[in-house]
Chain A
Amino acid sequence: MSATTDHPIEQVGGVTAKYVDQRLGSNKFLGRNLGKVFPDHWSFMLGEIALYSFIVVLLTGTFLTLFYDPSMVEVVYNGAYVPLKGVEMSQAYASTLDISFEVRGGLLIRQMHHWSALIFVAAIAVHMFRVFFTGAFRKPREFNWLVGVGLTALALGAGFTGYSLPDDLLSGTGLQIIRGILQSIPLVGTWAAFLVFGGEFPGTEIIPRLYAAHILLIPGLLLGLISAHLMMVWTQKHTQFPGPGRTNNNVVGYPLLPVYMAKAGGFFFIVFGIIALIGGLVTVNPIWIFGPYMPDQVSAGTQPDWYIGWLDGALRLMPNWESVIAGFTISWNVLIPSVVIPGILFTALAFYPFLEAWATGDKREHNLLERPRNAPVRTSIGVVAIVFYGILWIGGGNDIIATTFNLSFNALSWTLRILLIVAPPIAFVVTKRICLGLQRKDREKLLHGYESGRVLRLPHGEFIEVHQPLNYKELAVISAKEDLPVLPAPVKTDSDGVRNPHYRVDQLRHKVSSFFLRDNIERPTDAEIEAGQAHAAHSAALEAPLREYEDLDQDPVGHGGVLHHPGMPLTNQEQIDQRQ
């Protein structure tokens, strides 16, 4: 080894690193970021699943483009799948059959592509729930929430365009429905439908056009937005759940190199491997069974991919309203469920972080996640959205449910229609009550510790119920609660008789703020918590002599971990001290 310098970069085989650094200045970045700390929690893996399944979608999709032919030219099939021999079909459908039956591994890749797309959308949805219910969208992460909403919409678009490409009977029926939806748009709808389909339905243009969107436009946008999404996570650093040592100003977890990289990298292979296994073992979208698309054919009991189910359900449940105004036809029965409702839902999603910040007057930065119970109205709104969505989704399968369980689908549809109106408010109230109940329980734990359920008779005859102090983890988690005051009611005219020009807006804001915050159960002060825990510790200490006989306290880190005994594990610092 050269003795010219003992600088570490020369020693650790950093010739390459130095070579690159001299051209890109990369070591500045590496030095700062190789030790970047990422917090650990199972729910943080949901976004990772979305990312990894997207990578699998890209890889498998690229393979499929090598064999798929997006053409609606009619050909006579003469391939390996015997039942369809001699049948007229589009080149797109025939090439999809070829991928499934002629190309070795083609069916596997096609099924992996489909499965990973389904998982991609599902992971996005669940990831979004996590972000919503823990308040991770709060300042400074509002932009990233918006990017996420955009990604969700694009993922649906990617899914739908891809689903349509095989040009089988099922997907063609989906396109026929899209045509009907386009035609329902007032003023421009008819022309829009003709432009999109290149004339009348089905025409010969739609598949190549969807193909361009599916393999270029949408994935391009997805890639761009995903990069922005990740870069924002990187610069803002990941949020973390409250816990011991975790504050709003730090990140507790594992450094990127090596632990996080090994875990996250390993997880990519796990996701990839599982998708490959499912793709090999579980059939998805067997287009050869459905047959080629014919606009005058349909099969009963057909279902779209899961993420479109709610829109289909909305179409099914909507009453049959249509009006003619000044000679023009407005199909409310199609327009509302397929354009208005998703429009409102996505707009509400995009605006929610800003609405909540406005309503609560909360302008602070939040790097610690909030437990769902501590934001009862937000949690309830989330549950309302899920219930609403869930009922529409069930509606999307009303024929299957009716035939499977021998129900009248008319009665089922009416039940769902009524539930769609009635269930969300009930869900709101119930969720909020549950959250508040949990808040009360938390407050009690902070003030009195745990009810151990053990009754103790003291030497002078008094009976007490032993309360135990919270363990350090739970104490940190529960006491992380933050209270926000309701925004004050504005005055119409101040003491000098000057009218408040913003009175109406302020009044509205006060009301919304009160709706969000008025029922909050206040966190006790630090002094109260300390006193409460000390009191509990005292009551538990009275019981301590008994423990010498009965080993009541098996888990010193669990409940009652505050009692000192030799089995107590060392803290990190103590271990480090010992090693030195």
Chain B
Amino acid sequence: MGCRLCRADCSGRLDRNQSAMTALTPTENTPNEHEHSAPAKLGYSPVAEIPHRLRVTDTDPKAARRAERQVASMFALSMFFVVLSVAAYVMIDKTSIVYIPVLGEVGASNVALGFTFGIAVLLIGAGAIQWAKKLMPDVEVVQDRHDMVSDSQEDDLAVANYERGKDESGFARYKIIRRTLLGALAFFPIPIVVVLRDLWVTPAGENPTEILSHTLWAKGKRIVSDGTYQPVRPEDLPVGGLVSALPEDLMEVQEEEHNLNARGKAAIILVRMDPDQIRSQQGEGWDYNGILAYSKICTHVGCPIALYEQRTHHLLCPCHQSTFDLADSGAVIFGPAARNMPQLPISVDEEGYLVAVEDFSQPVGPSFWERDRA
């Protein structure tokens, strides 16, 4: 076979083409082809077939010196920007705001620190790459891949050692030891899983189904508006209006329990529409003079809903766009939710404030496995 690498017996450019092509035919790629031209000391050799253009920095010493200066300036500038960065840290007040075109009103300290530090770091990278591209050798080199696969001797050694270990331990012989060991190894992680049980320290007599099925609402509990926590009278609510509301004792419970769990279930919305427009409800007379109370927690995956279109009585979930018709039992009319928004039956107490008649008749929020057994 002709020597591809030194091209000693090659003539004309077409031959180079052929060698480029045949180089890719797997059968012809025996590593020893390279042997006489590879500087074995370094483990690689230049690729012979690739035409190489010298860079300006290779031929013109002036250009090389210029590149040297460029690289050094970038490294030096980097240090300068680090100094600027520290100066910015010390000197710029953390609350000061500056106006920068395009960015708008921004924190001066943040912008200054990010800019100076970013440029400092970037300059190190740019310098290193400029150095590599202009001054380090750009001749592509070739290195042989070595077979990773073990040879048959190594294979045999591995097998022999394995067999020896098997024999010496008697792993195959002592059946009872083997089985009990496997059993023990299978058993020992069990406590590691079992201790995870108290990730939820379950209060006595409680289970998730029970908890998910009840909210704070109960007979006669006043409805207070979210934010002001003042009880709501029917006349506070104009036709077409929507109010987010909570049970009157929510804040006390929240203080007592130190969490937002009760709020996450009991949140409701009150809407008022012309009673004639109510086509259906989840229970007979669950409204009060056209005021309807629905859970605020979406039955899809639990986002709070408050996007209400008063003309159509549609309620839209901002997370996944499930749409419910509040004039029609809170039925799903579009989107991925499968269940109506649960309705809370309401009335007024003797002082004229809106109250719940009872708790929700079904769990609020997203579905769960035991939901329909609840």
Q: Which chain A positions have C-beta within 8 A of B211?
A: 194, 199-200
- The interface of chain A, by Cβ under 8 A from chain B, is 32, 35-37, 40, 72-74, 80, 101-102, 104-105, 107-108, 111-112, 140, 173, 176-177, 179-181, 183-191, 193-205, 235-237, 242, 244-255, 258-259, 262-263, 265-281, 283, 293-302, 312, 315-322, 324, 327-331, 333-334, 337, 367-368, 398-399, 409-410, 413, 469-473, 475-476, 479-480, 526, 529-530, 533-534, 537, 557, 561-564, 568-577
Hey, what's the 0/1 contact readout for B66-103 against A, CB within 8 Å counting as 1? 00000000000000000000000100001100000001
How many of chain B's residues have a CB under 8 angstroms from any CB in A?
A: 124
**B23 to A476, Cβ gap below 8 A?**
yes
Q: List 30 A-B contacts (CB under 8 A).
A: A101-B95, A104-B89, A140-B148, A180-B366, A184-B366, A188-B369, A189-B368, A195-B196, A203-B259, A249-B30, A251-B143, A251-B144, A252-B141, A262-B131, A268-B125, A269-B124, A270-B122, A271-B125, A273-B120, A280-B110, A281-B106, A293-B260, A295-B297, A301-B318, A316-B336, A328-B373, A413-B334, A472-B16, A475-B17, A573-B46
Q: Shortest Cβ distance from A577 into chain B, in angstroms?
A: 8
Q: Shortest Cβ distance from B25 into chain A, in angstroms?
A: 6
**B50 to A245, Cβ gap below 8 A?**
yes
Hey, what's the 0/1 contact readout for B301-326 against A, CB within 8 Å counting as 1? 11111110000000000111111000
- The interface of chain B, by Cβ under 8 A from chain A, is 5-7, 12-14, 16-18, 20-26, 29-31, 37, 42-44, 46-54, 89, 94-95, 103, 106-107, 109-115, 117-129, 131-132, 136-145, 148, 196-197, 199-202, 208-209, 211-212, 226, 244, 246, 258-261, 263-265, 267, 296-297, 300-307, 318-323, 332, 334-339, 365-373
CA distance A297 to B246 in the complex (A): 12
* From B128, B321, B338, contact of A413 by CB (8 A): B321
* From A298, A322, A572, contact of B318 by CB (8 A): A298
**A296 to B300, Cβ gap below 8 A?**
no
**B132 to A258, Cβ gap below 8 A?**
yes
Q: Shortest Cβ distance from A74 into chain B, in angstroms?
A: 7
* From A40, A235, A318, A329, contact of B372 by CB (8 A): A329
CA distance A568 to B53 in the complex (A): 9
**B121 to A179, Cβ gap below 8 A?**
no
Q: Shortest Cβ distance from A159 into chain B, in angstroms?
A: 19
* From B14, B30, B46, contact of A533 by CB (8 A): B14
Given that A244-B47, A331-B338 are known contacts, is A298 also in contact with B208, CB under 8 Å in the complex?
Answer: no
Q: Which chain A positions have C-beta within 8 A of B115?
A: 277, 280-281
How many contacts A-B (CB < 8 Å)?
A: 410
Residue of A nearest to B114 (CB): A280
**A194 to B319, Cβ gap below 8 A?**
no
CA distance A19 to B88 in the complex (A): 43
**B125 to A266, Cβ gap below 8 A?**
yes
**What would 17 more interface pairs be, CB under 8 Å, given A107-B110, A410-B323?**
A37-B143, A180-B366, A190-B368, A193-B208, A199-B211, A245-B47, A248-B145, A262-B128, A265-B128, A266-B128, A279-B118, A294-B260, A312-B319, A315-B300, A324-B372, A328-B372, A571-B49
